[in-house]
Structure 1
């Protein structure tokens, strides 16, 4: 029984236990205010933490840690990204945000048919096109695919993104980032089994016989080679932009169902044993490396670009399903310029200003792309909150150094906007101080 496997204190009717959590009093802009103190990188690929998806990494048990031993493969502790934080999560919350201590009481009650019918979701498993309950049905969760945005990322010539063919070249790249979620809407688990994820030592049959996984020398772990394929525009047109997703692993991240056929306890919470139980789902959130399509070659200087974003999970049928689901697509529109040409400021046409107050963010600018590089907080040269609109405020930052023979450094862009979306926009005037 899955409820007993979850915690043996629930073995009998009436059994209970308390689970304690420390939560931020205000979760808004948590990474910006507390740094990585509450962010766990354990088990994630390098450079995964993203300011837009901090809910995936929050861990109130993170403490101050020493650097991980160099012979350890993969991040096996809360903090691996340097510089390491000097405060525990609880200390950082107390110092910068405020904290709330919460205790949840889990109690096993006697099964009640009427109560179960009230809270069961979905009311029945997924029905396929033949009117049958499919044993396993893996398909794209559309609301996650709709969470797309444009980011700019500098790719080193020897970067893993080049080796994995996730981008069209090195240098500054313009990337369409989105999330993909693969729910199991069937009644049986999708099981891949044990995988030597972080080593190239003893190998399972998934590797030696079926070739479902391939070892990545760059990432130093195995990839599920046929997780998904993405396309921008008609997926049957070879000239359109595409990206084949090499999943890091297939694991159960969230339980979306609340039904008897969906277990409370499951073993697929790490990459060492991979699969998705019925009623659970795997998610690759926007911000993870290669969870994108490279749109650098698309010119949007004259007008926005509108087309369809396609995602196909299990495109080569390596995972045994019931009735394969059709590809999922959404209408996608983006414009990579944040203001008109005559709205730019400064001495260079690479320096762009994008309206609003009271936050000012200084980002790099690209000579090759001839544009500013709208950036997130952790990639900015500096981010400043203007607390008094009528008083001058000096903003200091170090000019970007040279990156390569094309991006020779010294170029920056200025963006400003409201701290919260419901605040009114205002005017900003600025002057250069040598």
Structure 2
């Protein structure tokens, strides 16, 4: 029997293996057996057996190979028990399980297929997010339920329904055609962007204001996709943007639990390693000479902000120029609102407020619209109007840290 230190070491190995191998196991089993249910259960059982046996037998020389073989055999056992295949099919599967190691390219294709399957447009966005985090990220149903503040049973049903819809719609476990790939990869990135945003500024007052577990998982999954699609500029852009935003996390919440905006943050607390990596990716994309997409432009905007040693040194003209590029690609009201913030720094708050006012009909239920309007009105000395806007923003904000910040600003504007 291994000692306590040895058991702890084995537990760390299993934890790392789960983080690194879960998606590969599920993807391999899903490709081979054509069922996300079987793939998920087989992968879970493989790790459950590892938890029991490795502390006693020792970690195998090739943990990934051991897990793969165990998962495949468990999948065959599941099929045999449920009579889903006749004896000849089962025999063929067992013969195919001859220990042959697939090439890295084949494994990468499996994981890409899994990601595209989980993010298929036939699923509602909330189902895509849950299924991706379960099948690709390896989060348990309980972890997902806690992450999105629902009951564990409800989250389990959400994932079950998503898998059933994939099965009923007969969605093939394959990569999209070259013609469909640009649209489909944008859907995948949108899912991961949504996961990151929920961690960056949680939308519910019942959760922590910043969820570093979700931001970390989103970054990990984008890193995986970048490993699989290294030439895709938007994948690189999304990763760079996430890194540069995550780098500022240590300075975003005060000791009292209040949101600290970028202009007031202690820049010495920023994670310089993440900033250096994000800047490197942005430079790489600029040097590639390709027309940037949405995520690449957002990454460049964050690179400008994180390049300034002091908020007063921010190159707002460059930020505005980048938003000019972005709004041509994405002429949404949200982009227009963020562009107005840059306009306020370049052309003054009066010009920016006129732009923001024109967005009222579209963004009246969006807390950031009212927060931006309140700040511009405050800067223009419109105290009563500023207080009204702050009050609207507070009522619409579901984030406790942000609400504390807005309340302080409202009280300051009253003075």
TM > 0.5: no
Larger relative strand fraction: 1
**TM-score with structure 2 length normalisation?**
0.21
Work out which structure has the larger RCO, using CA pairs closer than 8 Å and 6 or more positions apart in sequence: 1
Larger relative helix fraction: 2
